[in-house]
Structure 1
């Protein structure tokens, strides 16, 4: 997700700053290919793990935190779908359009499955406490919001207006699945922070996660409004002014969500400024939420148009790229020293086995 949003940011910069378009385009492609490599390797390793050790699948699903990260799978895939539509579909045309559309539908199915299944799993299988809650609860819920924003990108390359309309309508439904539920979780999370104070240092980075649905929701509703402005008149759907209404409505809602995201950005920065926290995989939580917030800011600047939002979005985007470099260096270093990856569900099993072994020794 973090690498994918960096590739999308470079692509956006290449359109905003034509004088540096060639260099920015190359960087965008480089990060896109790196994203495909990382996604493919991690997906293969994960699939092999659950295929070779099937019992770990059930252990993972029952873990109240680790299971939530399944939502990152469709979100990471969405960044690949977006870049494929932005870069390769215009070049290749033909069957590449249908491939992009098929990829998006796969992403939609997995996103909906995560959004429906994992929260219900929390209600029925997990042992949760309010004081230990983290913003990771948002991960499966954000997946359909990301798919909705991706739907606007896919609709922009579909030659058949009717197919584009189906994609847009589906994307609005996906947006409606995710944003209200994400706001519900954000309210609960705010209450948790107010009553039980900041999370432990190990998971303090999770305070950035609420920025994700707000930033992506803002970008997605603007992108869908932009496509509605074009597609609704072509298909004569609803009223002749429906596209214009959705466009204006999308901008207003995006501005409100952006303002709400600004509040959480302040909370996040203030929280980490008070904490010293060790490097772990959670540091990747810096990149995607702030990256989509930067995309929302850039899009606001394009739609108005506004130099203020464009410059601010560029500053946010540049910060995300620098954060990616910092986190990537830390990740490579910790992988080399073998101190990064762990499976919380297996760690809990190891503890249980150790306790059982200790009791047996005491009995003897």
Structure 2
């Protein structure tokens, strides 16, 4: 090619159809380069749409996946390679949590106005509680898996992660009810099981604190126990404030819409997790009281070792009774939820959505409470019941996870109810930035003319 030659344009590949020895090139040619660019643009647009519609409810996936790994790890009747399966699900949960966290950061960074729309939505904002609860399941598995396998370094990791989840849980458990009271426009018939989500965060964090305290030094364990008991009191009491309202709503306005019917399982959560957390905390109290010198419970020598042990035994005994009461309340809500689901399925089909993850965590924590009671009382009946419920939860998790993966790949499950038209809301202009009205414009022109 000489220096005067001009570069050739991109080559177009024409579509040809052969008939005998002849070829028909009358069809419109297609450009491979343009097709590739359009495909890349389509992928980019779809990725932005999915991030824009990535709601906080996705962290309920971490709750369900985490409770599945915890149940398999602590199943009363173990079998070969079960531990490997539990650890694999745990690793999957860590990966999912990381991806979901990054997606959320991108969402609220690229579209800051979405946060305002989400936090003012009467339903979507309540799912923000799934974030610290999903993190708590990871904290528990760090204690169950990483600490025995890798040593004391992961004790610090577990404690730091627990403090992060505890602070976030406490903030959500206090601030979100205030937002509901002051910002959300709702009515009595709109009360749903989703209202329990920001409240139960404190119960989940307190139970996780009891798990972490088992591997902490006595002094650190005592601080963790105190904070956990406070959070347990906040969460369980608020849950019992809400239960009568929810019961009355069901009695007056009957069952929730079919799209939210799975939320009837959510009242089981604070009962099951509350029972498990109370047993876990009481067990740690009793263990610390029996350590040399009363361990971390000897607060400045105010009580003798014998007195500390007596108080710890009393706390332990009362905790078992209260845990049974909570387990009984949870059993009522569980039976009510199961009957509700079967009654609804008999009349109509329940559409699949992210709310189906409400099957997993509430029933899962009820299973952990059952196995904890079986362990403390050495009850074979409760041990069998806990194993049965645990395996049912794992099967439910596998089904819901597979459906979520399929719809997630298709993209149809990415839908944010807080975005009315599927677009981020426009930034709200301040009064000084508001556009001038016609009257203002005319007055300005008259002033200029007079001057």
TM-score of the aligned structures, taking structure 1 as reference length:
0.93
Give the deviation of 1:290 after TM superposition. Answer: 0.2
Q: What RMSD in Å do the two structures reach over aligned CA positions?
A: 1.6
Residue number in structure 1 paired with 2:201:
143
**1:213 lines up with 2:282 in the alignment:** no
For residue 305 of structure 1, the aligned residue among 378, 384, 408 is 378
Aligned pair count reads 348
Please tell me whether the aligned partners of residues 68 and 89 of structure 2 are also in contact (alpha carbons under 8 angstroms).
yes
SS at 1:68 equivalent:
helix
Give the deviation of 1:350 after TM superposition. Answer: 6.2
- Partners of 2:410 and 2:113 lie apart in 1 by 28
Please tell me whether the aligned partners of residues 66 and 89 of structure 2 are also in contact (alpha carbons under 8 angstroms).
yes
Map of 1:44-123 to 2, 5 A cutoff?
A: 44-123=102-181
Give the deviation of 1:348 after TM superposition. Answer: 6.3
**1:281 lines up with 2:338 in the alignment:** no
**1:130 lines up with 2:130 in the alignment:** no
Residue by residue over 1:128-156, the C-alpha shift from the partner in whole angstroms, topping out at 9 and shown as x without a partner, is 11101111111011001000000011100
- Partners of 1:124 and 1:48 lie apart in 2 by 28
- Residue ranges of structure 1 left out of the alignment (5+ in a row): 354-364
Give the deviation of 1:96 after TM superposition. Answer: 1.9
Residue number in structure 2 paired with 1:358:
none
- Partners of 2:325 and 2:107 lie apart in 1 by 43
SS at 2:225 equivalent:
helix
- Partners of 1:339 and 1:104 lie apart in 2 by 34
- Partners of 2:420 and 2:141 lie apart in 1 by 37
Residue by residue over 1:18-64, the C-alpha shift from the partner in whole angstroms, topping out at 9 and shown as x without a partner, is 5x1x4110011011001101111111101100011111111111111
Please tell me whether the aligned partners of residues 113 and 424 of structure 2 are also in contact (alpha carbons under 8 angstroms).
no
For residue 321 of structure 1, the aligned residue among 378, 394, 397 is 394
- Residue ranges of structure 2 left out of the alignment (5+ in a row): 1-62, 427-451
- Partners of 1:67 and 1:352 lie apart in 2 by 16
- Partners of 1:352 and 1:109 lie apart in 2 by 30
Give the deviation of 1:325 after TM superposition. Answer: 1.1
Give the deviation of 1:335 after TM superposition. Answer: 1.5
For residue 266 of structure 1, the aligned residue among 324, 331, 335 is 335
Give the deviation of 1:90 after TM superposition. Answer: 2.1
SS at 2:419 equivalent:
helix
Give the deviation of 1:231 after TM superposition. Answer: 1.6
- Partners of 1:190 and 1:344 lie apart in 2 by 26
Residue number in structure 2 paired with 1:17:
77
- Larger mean Cα displacement after TM superposition, 88-97 or 119-128: 88-97
Residue number in structure 2 paired with 1:189:
246
Residue number in structure 2 paired with 1:295:
368
- Partners of 1:171 and 1:352 lie apart in 2 by 39
- Partners of 1:211 and 1:193 lie apart in 2 by 15
- Larger mean Cα displacement after TM superposition, 89-98 or 108-117: 89-98
- Partners of 1:128 and 1:38 lie apart in 2 by 33
Could you list the structure 1 runs, at least 4 aligned residues long, displaced by more than 3 angstroms after superposition: 348-353
- Partners of 1:31 and 1:94 lie apart in 2 by 23
**1:334 lines up with 2:407 in the alignment:** yes
Residue number in structure 2 paired with 1:33:
91
